[in-house]
Amino acid sequence: MIYSKTCQYAIRALNYLATLETKKPATVGEVHAKTGVPQAYVAKIFQCLTRAKIVASKSGPNGGYALRVDPAKLTLLRVVDALDDVSESPLSNCVMGQAECSDRNPCCLHTVWVKAAAEMKKKLAKVTILEAGKATARAYRSETGRTVLSRRMQKVFGYGTAKGDRE
């Protein structure tokens, strides 16, 4: 779901990968430290994004995850679709949860909603990770070694005191 934490986390994680100029991949631990997304959950999400060929994984020392596609071409729609069980997504299904919902057999919101979903998809297909990332880029300070979110950005993101934080 677009509105799920899983999607939020994925976008944050990908935004971070997009800020990396070097080809060196980022480890799960690093992404967690920089984005505040729960470490083990980052791992799960990246497994999914790997299958969707959005990121490439590499085992071993100096391994990790890196974007596999140009962030300027990676749309939110593709990201959302990768994480969504499409058969469940409200973007591709009846809002009223009807088994059948078509122009012939419309649910009570069919006409309204079909349009709304199409508009939303269009929007998601327009915004790229590169664009989205720009707005967040300033949240990261990449100078020192064990960088973390700035105090101010911790407040913005609403974490920094999360359980499971390793540093």
Partner DNA sequence: CTAATTCAGGATATCATTATCCAGAATTAA
Partner DNA sequence: TTAATTCTGGATAATGATATCCTGAATTAG
What is the binding site for DNA (CB under 7 A)? 1, 4-6, 9, 25-29, 38-41, 43-44, 46-47, 50-51, 57-65, 85, 88, 162-164
Pair of tokens at residue 35? 């984005």
Shortest approach of a copy of itself to residue 65 CB, angstroms?
A: 19
Of residues 38 through 57, those in contact with a copy of itself by CB under 8 A are none
Pick 63 or 108: Cβ nearer DNA: 63
Pick 64 or 110: Cβ nearer a copy of itself: 110
In Å, how far from its chain's centre is CA 60?
A: 24
Residues 6+ apart with CB under 8 A from 45: 6, 9, 10, 13, 37, 83
Long-range contacts of 141-144 (CB under 8 A, 24+ apart): 142/19
Chosen from a copy of itself, DNA, none, partner binding at 41 (C-beta under 5 to 8 Å by type): DNA
State the residue for tokens 């122009």. 103
Q: What is the DSSP string of 13-24?
A: HHHHHHH--SSP
Give the number of residues in contact with a copy of itself, rule: CB under 8 A: 38
Shortest approach of a copy of itself to residue 32 CB, angstroms?
A: 16
Question: If we measure between CA atoms, which residue out of 57, 70, 61, 78 comes closest to residue 10?
Answer: 78
Q: Does 31 help bind a copy of itself (rule: CB under 8 A)?
A: no
Of residues 97 through 126, those in contact with a copy of itself by CB under 8 A are 97-101, 105-110, 112, 116, 119-120, 123
Residue of 24, 44, 58, 155 that binds a copy of itself (CB under 8 A)? 155
Q: Does 76 help bind a copy of itself (rule: CB under 8 A)?
A: yes
Q: Is the distance from CB of 18 to CB of 12 less than 8 angstroms?
A: no
